[in-house]
Amino acid sequence: MIRALIKKVGYLFKRNPAGVVAADQPTIIPRSEHGVSRKEISENALKVLYRLNRHGYQAYLVGGSVRDLLLGLHPKDFDVVTNAKPEEVRRVFRNCRLIGRRFRLAHVYFGPDIIEVATFRGMTEEPTDDISHSEQGMILRDNVYGTLVEDVWRRDFTINALYYNIADFSIVDYVGGFADVKAKRMRMIGDVNQRYREDPVRILRAIRFAAKANFALGKDLTQPILELKELLHHISSARLFEEVMKMFHSGVATRIYEELKNHGLLAELFPITDESIHKNQYPTDALLCKVFESTDSRIRADKSVTPSFIVTALLWYPILERTQVLMDKGLALLPARMQAVEELLNKQAKRVSIPKRITLGAREIWQFQLRLEKRHGKRASLLFSEQRFRAAYDFLEMRSQIGESAHTQVLYEWWKAYVEGDADVRKDLVKNLAAPTGRKKSKRRKRKPAAPA
């Protein structure tokens, strides 16, 4: 049966003789020989696994959570796979909702926590209503269900094809993924080119997984990227944004950023930013390195991060450049800045669509950089009390740290003294500011009442 299945899915590796082929029988790693502990697994994920098992279904933890637990990391997301169909999962869990057209999934809700449950994916050689591909070979719909061993073939990398069995706490391994984790080795299941074509997002996932696990990417995985990276244009801009945020909030964004540049992927995702880096007119690269270092540090310290801040940095210098072009054409600073923001956000959305809730935050930080210049009278106090001040101040600090300009340095030092000073210090700082430039409003003279006739 297994050999027949391998023949059936031969298209996955027929162009790559060295591709990973499933064993006739899986390797079972008992609990005594692996480091995955239930203490490290989400309580809600365990509830889902146990309940499916009690109802007579197979239930496994799969993918990144198993990989990360073996590496001693602390995953936040726990995905479950089962032989129960989505409708059967919904009958088991009242707190369940079925989602997705491309992939039919069950989401089990525990307050704000969501456990994703997928049914084993199957294989078929013929396109049907349940599975279809684009002309480029990209999977458009995939709702063919099968067995555990068939599901293995639908995984991308061997290190993501490890199944933690809740029935006996063992790990089921058909493709040598357990040994690859130990050896810090990345291997694709099947032909690399074919798997990238099926889902070009796998290109980005390869970068993210390798960076997060501190694995080296071999030429067999990186060489096809040069040829196939343009296929990312066929992925919805909204889905690309989700993958980009996973990369930049992975705790290893600094390394991922370098890998994106090295493989020409930044140009595919953020062409405006990539162009700014290569022009070298502004310190775009230095700013992004600083922002990603800060983001990684905050994530390691379990502090909150905001996508708006990263978007602010990605487009900051392109916005400054476009603003100057518009001002040279006669526009005043404020309308030029606003028009530049609109133009570049619209242009960026053609590649990676940024949700409005995030662009609103970025807009506020960009606008705040102008407002921080206005400190006279009560303005400094009013700015300091606003909710977005801290993010804007932090961004100003990073601009100063990379040596953007002497003016930026002076402005930051003033605000730093204001933030850290007491009421008297703040009063003196405002008092000692030079008089604001610009034409003062003239006071209107009161007209004398007309003399009675």
Which residues are the active-site residues?
Answer: 77, 79, 156
**Residue 79: phi, psi to the nearest 5?**
-100, 140
Sequence length of the chain is 453
DSSP 102: S
Nearest CA to 214 among 188, 252, 179?
252
Work out whether strand 170-173 and strand 79-82 pair parallel, antiparallel, or are unpaired.
Answer: unpaired
Question: Would you tell me the crossing angle of helices 237-248 and 201-213 to the nearest 10 degrees?
Answer: 10
Helical ranges in 263-332 per DSSP H: 266-269, 271-279, 284-300, 307-328
Which secondary structure element, helix H or strand E, spans residue 151, and what is its range? helix 148-154
DSSP 442: P
118 three-state secondary structure: strand
Residues 119, 150: Cα–Cα separation, whole Å: 11
Let me know: does 82 contact 57? Beta carbons within 8 Å.
Answer: yes
Let me know: does 399 contact 295? Beta carbons within 8 Å.
Answer: no
Residues 118, 345: Cα–Cα separation, whole Å: 35
Residues 395, 386: Cα–Cα separation, whole Å: 15
Residues 316, 288: Cα–Cα separation, whole Å: 10
Work out whether strand 59-62 and strand 27-29 pair parallel, antiparallel, or are unpaired.
Answer: unpaired
Residues 393, 439: Cα–Cα separation, whole Å: 28
Let me know: does 106 contact 68? Beta carbons within 8 Å.
Answer: no
Helical ranges in 31-71 per DSSP H: 43-54, 64-70
Nearest CA to 290 among 397, 392, 398, 394?
398
Task: Write the CA distances from 1 to 69, 126, 204, integer angstroms.
Answer: 32, 19, 34
Strands (DSSP E) found in 88-189: 96-99, 105-110, 113-119, 131-133, 139-142, 162-165, 170-173
Work out whether strand 113-119 and strand 131-133 pair parallel, antiparallel, or are unpaired.
Answer: unpaired
Location of structure tokens 């003279």: 445
Residues 128, 224: Cα–Cα separation, whole Å: 29
